[in-house]
Amino acid sequence: MKRILFFNHSSEIGGAELSLLSLLDKLRDKYEIFVAAPLNGPLDEKVKTKGIQFIPIKVVQIRKTRNPFILLYYVISIYFSSMNLKRVIREIHPDFIHANSIRSGIIASLCCGKIPLIWHIRDILGTGVLGIVIRYLAKKARIIIHISEFLKKEFCHGNLSLLEKSVVIYNGIDLKKIDSITSTEHFRNEFRINNGDGPLIGIVGYIAPLKGQEEFVNAATKIIRNFPEAKFFIAGDILFRRKNRRFFKKLKRISETDPNLKGNLFFTGYYNNIYLFIKSMDLIIQPSWIEGWGRTVCESFCCKVPVICSEIGGIPEIIKFEPERYLVPVKDVNAIVEKSLKILKNPESIKSSLEQNYIYSRKEFSIEKHYSGIQGIYNEL
């Protein structure tokens, strides 16, 4: 039985961690698995409940900055983080290492030695000196997995040596969990939604400007003029940065000062059963500024719930049929409102394309297909 060391730079639960947890469910009976990550978040408990060994490791959280003193601190911190990971590697002797993010891959590339490294790219790298350095380090990887064609093109940046070791494997959606939800009554009762209330409109993602919650709230102020009984839901926790807390307070202030939204906009925090949340909605709006792929967009189609989303990053790769009905320019609140109202006023107009995208998403983005692609890579090592 092969021994795998997964390394994640954070212990918070975001899209990368959700994908990792879903993958662990499929792998744990076929491989000996260890997960190394910091202790300052819920990831360790999620891993342990699956019967998988969690190894705490000290990792300094790195943020983008131009401050030379902070950059120097980060460089030193990365070195010590790699030494911490190297000790773990020596203890468990993995057959290969699977780094679950760009930041995880940076640290792992410095200490993996001759052990094969799989580097999972889930975010946009960009250009500049930092991008050049990371692309150089990525040459240490045996395989580079990208979650969309967009990310593969952006990360490899025309570098043939990176392209040769790159493969696209889309994230997987757990269709069995979706199909196990046959009623949304629990959600409606939780938020005291009456039968006459609606439509219900939601957004999913950790609270941050780039996830588009402000655009969602601004669109809500206009949509509710046409649908006075509409209810709006923001599902997501405040993660990663202090400025996101300030942003959350701004959203709360808007929701409390707008007379139409007051009492009609709900902040659910991290919603544990996200598929129940999505299935309870009549419409999902995801106006992200950037997305490497677009998990919530795909989940919405797999739940057969229409979704208005930004035409950015890897999102267009998900919508195969009549994308013009669902895609909007980034930060364009008027376009969000216009297309949302078209769907809400005439759901029949998207019945055919929604069904087609539902079938396509469930075929192309299942957790089984994702697992098959990952296992194929493991078998090659």
User: Residue 147 is part of a domain; what is its CATH number?
Assistant: 3.40.50.2000
Q: Are residues 348 and 254 both part of a single domain?
A: yes
CA 77 to chain centre: 26
Give per-residue pLDDT as tens, 182-228: 999 999 999 998 877 889 999 999 999 999 999 999 999 999 999 99
Q: How far apart are CA 48 and CA 44, in angstroms?
A: 6
Domain span holding position 89: 3-172+366-380
Q: Are residues 244 and 194 both part of a single domain?
A: yes
Query: Rounded mean pLDDT of the chain?
Result: 93
Q: Are residues 265 and 353 both part of a single domain?
A: yes
Instruction: For the sheet with 231-235, list strands across it.
Output: 265-269, 231-235, 200-204, 283-286, 307-310, 327-328
Q: Are residues 189 and 320 both part of a single domain?
A: yes
DSSP 173: B
Q: Are residues 157 and 197 both part of a single domain?
A: no
Q: Are residues 163 and 85 both part of a single domain?
A: yes
Q: Are residues 180 and 258 both part of a single domain?
A: yes
Q: Are residues 88 and 213 both part of a single domain?
A: no
Q: Are residues 241 and 354 both part of a single domain?
A: yes
Q: Are residues 182 and 47 both part of a single domain?
A: no
Tokens found for residue 341: 């109202």
Q: How far apart are CA 324 and CA 284, in angstroms?
A: 16
Q: How far apart are CA 82 and CA 113, in angstroms?
A: 11
Q: Are residues 359 and 370 both part of a single domain?
A: no
Instruction: Look at 11 and 180; give whichever has higher pLDDT.
Output: 180
In order of 146, 235, 368, the CA distances from 273 in angstroms are 27, 11, 20
Instruction: Tell me what pLDDT residue 70 has.
Output: 72
* Total number of domains in the chain: 2
Q: How far apart are CA 27 and CA 378, in angstroms?
A: 11
Q: Are residues 165 and 245 both part of a single domain?
A: no
Q: What percent of the chain has pLDDT over 90?
A: 78
Give per-residue pLDDT as tens, 269-310: 989 899 999 999 999 999 999 999 999 999 999 999 999 999
